[in-house]
Amino acid sequence: MKKLSHVSIAAVIAMLLGTATRAAEAPVVQAVWQPQEFTFQYMGFTTAYNCDALADKVEDILKRVGVREGVRVSAGGCIADRPQGSISVRIAALVPVPQGETSPDAGLGTEQRKALLQRLGVKPLDNAPFAASWRTVEVPKDRSLQIGAGDCELLEQLRDHVFPKLHVKIVEDNTRCTPHQASVVPPRLTVSALLPLKSADVDTGS
């Protein structure tokens, strides 16, 4: 009986590991970009932000959970750009959703949709489906997000009022906010988000 060389054994192991990895991955689904525009009110009992800082932080988090590049986040209610505990945040974004599913909050008329797409800097979409999959995302595992203990209330309110509109599902919740009391441990959320796949990530079946 012919013995397998070390190279052959390594190749077999690599193939088996690759097969197991692909089996464990989330299945590919067809998704479409859905335009959405809505407002939420940030209420901070412990942490105040200036408008620009809050808008930038919210935009970074939204990109992390799958919204398309070009998302527009604006915040209002600040006086002379001083930190405020109550800020109105407006979000305009293209959100990946499974083909055939729509959000009850996305009821835009034809003209509203055209105007929103124009503000987002994109041409009217033909809504052609694209490959995506549900991925587990930890917020704020990415250090570039710069989420600290003082952002507990913000993350909590995004969880309750924004993520449901974006089809983002909570997997694990480690936000423990106490009003008027600074948190010691930075807040963390683990979510399931629908993320577009790069062409190299799609199994063509060849």
List, in sequence order, every beta strand (DSSP E) within 6-69: 29-43
pLDDT of residue 62: 94
Mapped onto helix, strand or coil, the DSSP state of residue 137 is: strand
* pLDDT at position 125: 63
* Cα–Cα dist 66/189, whole Å: 15
What is d(CA 10, CA 153) in angstroms, rounded to the nearest whole number?
50
**C-alpha span between 167 and 37 (Å, rounded):** 14
Would you write out the chain's pLDDT as a tens digit for each of its 206 residues?
Answer: 445 455 455 444 444 444 444 434 679 999 998 889 999 999 999 999 999 999 999 999 999 999 998 899 999 989 888 999 999 999 999 999 999 876 554 567 778 888 888 888 777 666 789 999 999 999 877 677 788 889 999 999 999 999 999 999 999 999 888 888 877 788 899 999 999 998 645 443 43
CA angle 65, 71, 75 (to 5 degrees): 100
Sheet holding 29-43, edge to edge: 72-76, 86-98, 29-43, 130-139, 188-196, 169-174
Cβ-proximal residues to 81 (8 Å cutoff; 6+ apart), any chain: 50, 51, 52
